[in-house]
């Protein structure tokens, strides 16, 4: 009995000595040696988003049988009203439309709703918004979805792919009075006229065009007072252990400063108020799935700064022989996208593969206060007249879109509405929307 107690005691003492050795080595009571930055609250540029929000339509065009068209931007209350209703729709049995569609009749003689996306999505991505029934045919590259009342007074739907020059027809369970209900409420909204694209190209099935305001365009000049995130703010936002990050390289003029934690790296651009974060990922792309990559990307942004406003996916393409996907998200103000050339404000660029983000680039500017100034803008006919004066005729124009052009001045961002005109084969012209 005594021997048994001795054995148990000995084993216990051995275990205790091991625990004490581990405690001496592992616990650091010198808490002041820890970096204070570990205790700073997480800093963010904005809120979290779900996948659906960044792939939702850029605008909704409501077509009336009396040849009126209402273009509803994302800030328009009717946009939310219609979108929230439409996304409950369930679609059935899509099939490619073989016969020629009479677009003019559809646009001007039938009530309809047209959802226009900033970037073409395949049907897998569209499942983030709509209830596409199981076994729904895979549809690549959908730019627009057009709801209309068919001859049986049911609602039919065209899924339109401009890139593939293809149209799919599907049925929904919703009925015609729904579209009529929206139309009856839009009387006070700004009306737009349709203009057929002057350069049609090879398109046979899909008609391309653009919409211009019948009367003066409603768009304000906007000024935003901004703050700039410092290198430390960005480090705190991006790295999981900020205290392990060290300055790696800083050039003479300090335009770009490089940091690393030994695995990932950060480039901080002082001149352009932006940063670029790199982390190593497996180069080889395993089973590629755009929707999964996009979901991982949205989650990454949520966890690394968030979304400082209304962003939409405006570009997604494969690069480096398909090993990476490049996603670009554009910020919308009052439903109008920001057009950036040099500045990063208004853009989030991400490279991803295998559901991991390898490069994350965005602006370090955070808007604190917005002031707006109403201005008199040109109407559609006035715009076309101005273009004709510089020898850009309507038949040369491929597309016209409205953007906010960004100019940075001391401590603030100035945003001015501009029309971007694409004409001839690949020419671009920009003109201020103001009169």
List binders of other proteins among 52-81 (CB under 8 A).
none
Q: Which is nearer to other proteins, 227 or 432 (CB)?
A: 227
Q: Which is nearer to other proteins, 369 or 435 (CB)?
A: 369
Least Å distance, CB 26 to other proteins, is: 11
CB hemisphere CA count around 81 (13 angstroms): 12
Question: Considering only residues 6, 88, 319, 407, which one is a binding residue for other proteins as defined by CB under 8 A?
Answer: 6
Contact by Cβ (8 Å): 379, 313 = no
Question: Considering only residues 79, 229, 239, 360, which one is a binding residue for other proteins as defined by CB under 8 A?
Answer: 229
Asked if 240 interacts with other proteins (CB under 8 A), we say no
Question: Considering only residues 14, 50, 95, 204, which one is a binding residue for other proteins as defined by CB under 8 A?
Answer: 14
Cα 226 to its chain centre, rounded Å, is 21
Residues in Cβ contact with 161 at an 8 Å cutoff, skipping those fewer than 6 apart: 120, 139, 140, 141, 142, 143, 167, 168, 206
Least Å distance, CB 36 to other proteins, is: 7
**Number of Cβ atoms within 10 Å of the Cβ of 329:** 24
Backbone angles phi, psi at 294, to 5 degrees: -65, -40
Least Å distance, CB 5 to other proteins, is: 10
Q: Which is nearer to other proteins, 225 or 246 (CB)?
A: 225
Residues in Cβ contact with 358 at an 8 Å cutoff, skipping those fewer than 6 apart: 278, 279, 280, 281, 324, 351, 352
Least Å distance, CB 30 to other proteins, is: 5
Cα 339 to its chain centre, rounded Å, is 13
Asked if 39 interacts with other proteins (CB under 8 A), we say yes
Question: Considering only residues 16, 204, 241, 430, which one is a binding residue for other proteins as defined by CB under 8 A?
Answer: 16
Asked if 303 interacts with other proteins (CB under 8 A), we say no
Asked if 31 interacts with other proteins (CB under 8 A), we say yes
The length of the chain in residues reads 435
Asked if 241 interacts with other proteins (CB under 8 A), we say no
Crossing angle of helices 77-86 and 177-184, in 10° steps, is 170
Give the C-alpha separation, 206 to 203, whole Å.
6
Question: Considering only residues 111, 233, 273, 297, which one is a binding residue for other proteins as defined by CB under 8 A?
Answer: 233
Asked if 48 interacts with other proteins (CB under 8 A), we say no
**Total residues at interface with other proteins (CB under 8 A):** 34
Question: 312-351 mask for other proteins (x: CB under 8 A)?
Answer: ----------------------------------------
**Number of Cβ atoms within 10 Å of the Cβ of 239:** 21
Question: Considering only residues 42, 80, 93, 289, which one is a binding residue for other proteins as defined by CB under 8 A?
Answer: 42
Least Å distance, CB 32 to other proteins, is: 4
Give the C-alpha separation, 24 to 189, whole Å.
73
Asked if 27 interacts with other proteins (CB under 8 A), we say yes
Question: Considering only residues 1, 24, 152, 426, which one is a binding residue for other proteins as defined by CB under 8 A?
Answer: 24
Return the H-helix or E-strand segment holding 412.
strand 412-423
List binders of other proteins among 361-380 (CB under 8 A).
366, 368
Query: Both tokens of residue 414?
Result: 């100035």
Which residue bears the tokens 């027809």? 169
Least Å distance, CB 24 to other proteins, is: 5
DSSP assignment of 241-292 equals: SGGG-EEEEE-TT-SEEEEE-SS-EEEEETTTTEEEEE----SS--S--HHH
Asked if 203 interacts with other proteins (CB under 8 A), we say no
Asked if 29 interacts with other proteins (CB under 8 A), we say yes
Which residue bears the tokens 């209309």? 148
Asked if 3 interacts with other proteins (CB under 8 A), we say yes
Asked if 204 interacts with other proteins (CB under 8 A), we say no
Give the C-alpha separation, 299 to 350, whole Å.
12
DSSP assignment of 190-209 equals: PEEEEEE-S--TT-SSS--E
Least Å distance, CB 277 to other proteins, is: 19
Question: Considering only residues 1, 35, 41, 178, which one is a binding residue for other proteins as defined by CB under 8 A?
Answer: 41
Query: Both tokens of residue 64?
Result: 């009336």
Helix/strand number for the chain, H first, E second: 9, 24
Least Å distance, CB 270 to other proteins, is: 16
Question: Considering only residues 17, 80, 175, 315, which one is a binding residue for other proteins as defined by CB under 8 A?
Answer: 17
Least Å distance, CB 134 to other proteins, is: 43
Question: Which residues sit at the interface with other proteins, rule CB under 8 A?
Answer: 2-3, 6-7, 9-10, 13-14, 16-17, 20-21, 23-24, 27, 29-33, 36, 38-44, 227, 229-230, 233, 366, 368
């Amino acid at each position: 009995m005594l021997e048994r107690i001795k054995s148990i005691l000995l084993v216990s003492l051995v275990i205790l000595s091991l625990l004490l050795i581990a405690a001496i080595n592992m616990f650091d009571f010198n808490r002041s040696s820890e970096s204070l930055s570990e205790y700073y609250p997480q800093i963010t540029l904005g809120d979290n988003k779900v996948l659906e929000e960044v792939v939702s339509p850029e605008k909704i065009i409501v077509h009336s049988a009396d040849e009126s068209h209402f273009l509803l931007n994302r800030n328009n209350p009717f946009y939310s009203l219609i979108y929230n209703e439409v996304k409950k729709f369930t679609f059935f049995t899509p099939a490619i439309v073989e016969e020629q569609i009479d677009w003019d009749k559809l646009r001007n003689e039938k009530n309809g709703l047209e959802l226009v996306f900033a970037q073409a999505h395949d049907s897998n991505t569209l499942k983030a918004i709509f209830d596409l029934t199981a076994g729904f045919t895979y549809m690549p590259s959908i730019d627009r979805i057009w709801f209309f009342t068919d001859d049986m007074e049911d609602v039919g739907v065209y899924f339109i792919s401009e890139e593939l020059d293809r149209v799919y027809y599907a049925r929904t369970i919703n009925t015609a009075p729904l579209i009529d209900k929206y139309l009856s409420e839009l009387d006070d909204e700004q009306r737009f006229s349709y203009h057929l694209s002057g350069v049609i190209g090879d398109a046979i099935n899909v008609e391309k065009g653009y919409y211009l305001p019948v009367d003066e365009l409603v768009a304000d000049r906007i000024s935003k007072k901004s703050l700039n995130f410092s290198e430390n703010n960005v480090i705190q936002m991006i790295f999981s252990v900020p205290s392990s990050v060290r300055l790696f390289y800083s050039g003479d003029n300090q335009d770009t400063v490089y940091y690393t934690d030994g695995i990932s790296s950060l480039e901080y651009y002082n001149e352009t108020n932006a940063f670029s974060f790199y982390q190593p990922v497996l180069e080889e792309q395993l089973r590629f799935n755009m929707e999964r990559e996009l979901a991982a990307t949205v989650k990454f942004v949520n966890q690394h700064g968030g979304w400082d406003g209304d962003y939409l996916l405006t570009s997604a393409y494969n690069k480096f022989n398909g090993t990476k996907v490049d996603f670009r998200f554009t910020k919308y103000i009052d439903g109008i996208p920001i057009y950036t050339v040099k500045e990063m404000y208004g853009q989030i660029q991400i490279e991803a593969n295998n559901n991991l983000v390898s490069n994350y680039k965005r602006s370090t500017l955070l808007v604190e206060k917005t002031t707006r100034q109403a201005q008199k803008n040109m109407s559609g006919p006035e715009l076309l007249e101005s273009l004709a004066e510089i020898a850009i005729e309507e038949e040369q124009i491929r597309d016209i879109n409205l953007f906010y052009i960004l100019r940075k001045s001391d401590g603030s961002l100035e945003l001015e509405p501009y029309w971007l005109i694409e004409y001839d084969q690949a020419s671009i012209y920009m003109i201020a929307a103001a009169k």
